[in-house]
Structure formats: structure tokens, C-alpha cells
Amino acid sequence: MNRILVAISDGTRWKLLDKISEREICVCELPELVEVSQPAVSQHLKVLHGAGLVKVRCNGKNRLYSVTPKGKLVLKDVSRW
């Protein structure tokens, strides 16, 4: 539970989770969508992945992120606050 709270407590990570919840998305698109650098996006995704909120799959050279069932539940629960 603590990992989830730490993961969603950062504004950039929350934006990333929200954007990824809309569709499976390539990591290469995320820096522009959340207006942070590619290295920063990678670090934030590492935290979200470690908390079990997002999953990644490789498609050739692309890394595609999507929200896990746990991530969807967290988004739903937090949106009711």
C-alpha cells in the first residue's frame, strides 16, 4: 500500500498514470504529453511499475505501457475522493 501512495503522490506520476489509462502508449510519446524529459519519464515509470500500477510490453524497439487492473482500481478509487 505504501508503494502505491508514494507512486501516486507525485503530480507527474499521476499525469502519466492518467495518460496511460487512456490507451496503451509508447514511452516515446509520454515526455511531450506530460512535459518532462525522457529520463524523468523513465524514472517515474519505474516507480509506477514497481508499485504494480502499470505494465510494459516490448514491440520491436518500442516499449508500450498500459495500466494494470490494480492501477485502474487506484484511478477509480482516487477519482472518488
pLDDT of residue 30: 96
**Does residue 80 sit within a domain?**
no
For residues 42-71, average pLDDT: 96
For residues 42-51, average pLDDT: 96
* Burial environment of residue 30 by CB neighbours within 10 A (0 to 12, 13 to 18, 19 or more): buried
Instruction: Supply the pTM of this predicted model.
Output: 0.91
**Does residue 53 sit within a domain?**
yes
Could you tell me which residues come within 8 angstroms of residue 40 by beta carbon, excluding any fewer than 6 positions away? 12, 31
> How do 25-26 and 62-67 pair as beta strands?
antiparallel
**Domain count for the chain:** 1
Report the interhelical angle of 11-22 vs 69-79 (nearest 10°): 120
**Does residue 79 sit within a domain?**
no
Q: How many CB atoms are closer than 10 A to CB 13? A: 22
Residue 77 has pLDDT above 90, yes or no: no
